[in-house]
Amino acid sequence: MAVAGETEIRPSEMAAAAAEAASVLRALSNPARLMLLCSLVGAERTVGELEVALDLGQAYVSQQLARLREEGLVTATRDGRMMRYRLSDQRVAPVIAVLYEQFCRRPGQAAQNPGRNPPR
């Protein structure tokens, strides 16, 4: 059923969109990848910065970033000898923000505006 003012999506288009969403959700299903994506909302970071911020080992961070690159969720640019990572699919940022608000916000912490950077 379509919302007032919208046209209904064809089943083939809905199937393609559902497959794409399912792929993103699979990438988000790993806690480390979810933490990495949360850390990259609104910020570009190096592997070293992510290691320290998330208290994860370098090899594991690199492995998970490689998976996120394969999924098209992050990109990297070389900065001298370091690689700087950032979100490449901006549709993921509001999803991460909602997950942060629902699962990571400490009691008594002020709510963030949807789509804004979650605190680190």
Position 7 scores a pLDDT of 75
Position 111 scores a pLDDT of 54
From first to last of its 120 residues, what are the pLDDT tens digits of the chain? 555 556 788 999 999 999 999 999 998 999 999 999 989 988 899 999 999 999 999 999 999 999 999 999 999 999 899 999 999 988 888 998 898 888 877 666 655 544 444 444
Domains belonging to the chain, first-starting first, are 31-120 (1.10.10.10)
Helix (H) or strand (E) holding 11: helix 11-28
Position 103 scores a pLDDT of 83
Stated pTM of the model: 0.74
Q: Are 87 and 73 in contact (CB under 8 A)?
A: yes
Residue type for 66, please?
A: A
Distance CA 96, CA 5 (A): 28
Side-chain half-sphere exposure of 32, counting CA atoms within 13 A: 16
With CA atoms as reference, report the closest residue to 118 among 108, 103, 32. 103
Estimate to the nearest angstrom the gap between the alpha carbon of 51 and the chain centroid: 16
| Phi, psi at 13, each rounded to 5° | -70, -40
